[in-house]
Amino acid sequence: MIKFEHSVFALPFAGAGALLAIRESAYHVPGLGAKLAWILVAMVSARSAAMAFNRLLDADIDARNPRTKMRHIPAGLLSKQFTWMFTAAAALVFLIAARMLNRMCLTLAPAALGVVFFYSFAKRFTTWSHLLLGFSLGIAPAAAWIALRGSLDPRILWLTLAVTLWTAGFDVIYSCQDYEFDGTAGLFSIPRRFGIRGALVIAKLLHGGMLASLAIVLLSFGLGPAAWTGIALVAILLVWEHSLVKPHDLSRVNAAFFTVNGYVSILFFLCWALDILIFRKPHQ
């Protein structure tokens, strides 16, 4: 039901947030290894709880959608009772991970779960549910910063915005597949409101905003050439992503959604990690 490898979308950006926090701590964070491990546990468990909850809430809708009717719950491969138990267990693991990090993480943990759960309701009442999904992933780098620093620096929120816009953009592309179904089912989405052609234009604008936000992060933290290279690679990959999908041809949406965005997050992280850990001097 949940592919853990799809955590690759948000996890590298959380890693970038963590690396920036380490840099701002002059590369000295007590108990760093344990904290990074608990960040990983928190990321995977929160995503797992959110995805399972989404599958539960959408089970009836998925059963009516030809594209999703073979998902585990509508296909009878998993029961709702089991999925509720899985959701609760994943949420509990997330709360434990937050407790092991610091007081601020634990205080904010219920709000974080509220954000990732609330997205599942959004397409029932707003065209802009894609941005809510984006924000669900976008809080990851800020959360990683809080986990290591115990406080929030407003500069890291530009990375939250970048991930929000990036995720919303590729979700708009992905949701073009359900353009006709959303209309008949009474669901809301950008493709339903603006059409597939208009939705693809909006996706490009969202990804342009992502690149601008990444540049602001880079300038705010004084990063160098390797980080700029990361932004350039992300831009090239996003151009490739948009070239794969046409208003009259959605056959390569899965390649654009899964493959390209996996490369985006991984290459971004590698370039920024090089800049932060190897090419730049410790923050003074």
For residue 119, give the CATH number of its domain: 1.10.357.140
Average pLDDT over all residues of the chain: 94
Is 45:90 a contact under the CB 8 Å cutoff?
yes
- Domain span at residue 182 reads 4-279
Q: Percent of the chain scored above 90 by pLDDT?
A: 89
User: Does some domain include residue 174?
Assistant: yes
Give the tens place of pLDDT for each residue, 119-139. 999 999 999 999 999 999 999
CA distances from 209 to 159, 164, 167 (A): 11, 10, 11
CA distance 267 to 278: 16
Banded model confidence at residue 6, pLDDT cuts 50, 70, 90: low
The pTM (predicted TM-score) of the whole model is: 0.94
pLDDT at site 10: 86
> Which residues partner with 249 through β-bridges?
246
Average pLDDT rounded to a whole number, residues 144-155: 96
Dihedral (Cα; 160, 164, 170, 171), 10-degree rounding: 140
Question: Quick one: DSSP state of residue 79?
Answer: -
Give the tens place of pLDDT for each residue, 23-52. 999 889 999 999 999 999 999 999 999 999
3-state DSSP percent of the chain in helix, strand and coil, to 5: 80, 0, 20
User: Does some domain include residue 176?
Assistant: yes
Q: Nearest Cα to 259, choosing from 22, 52, 5, 75?
A: 5
Angle at 193 between CA 188 and CA 196, to 5 degrees: 110
Is 211:227 a contact under the CB 8 Å cutoff?
no
What the block records as the tokens of 127 is 């065209």
Cα within 13 Å of Cα(39), Cβ side: 28
Number of domains in the chain: 1
Please name the residue that has the structure tokens 């939250």.
160
User: Does some domain include residue 129?
Assistant: yes
User: Does some domain include residue 284?
Assistant: no
Higher pLDDT, 275 or 4: 275
User: Does some domain include residue 251?
Assistant: yes
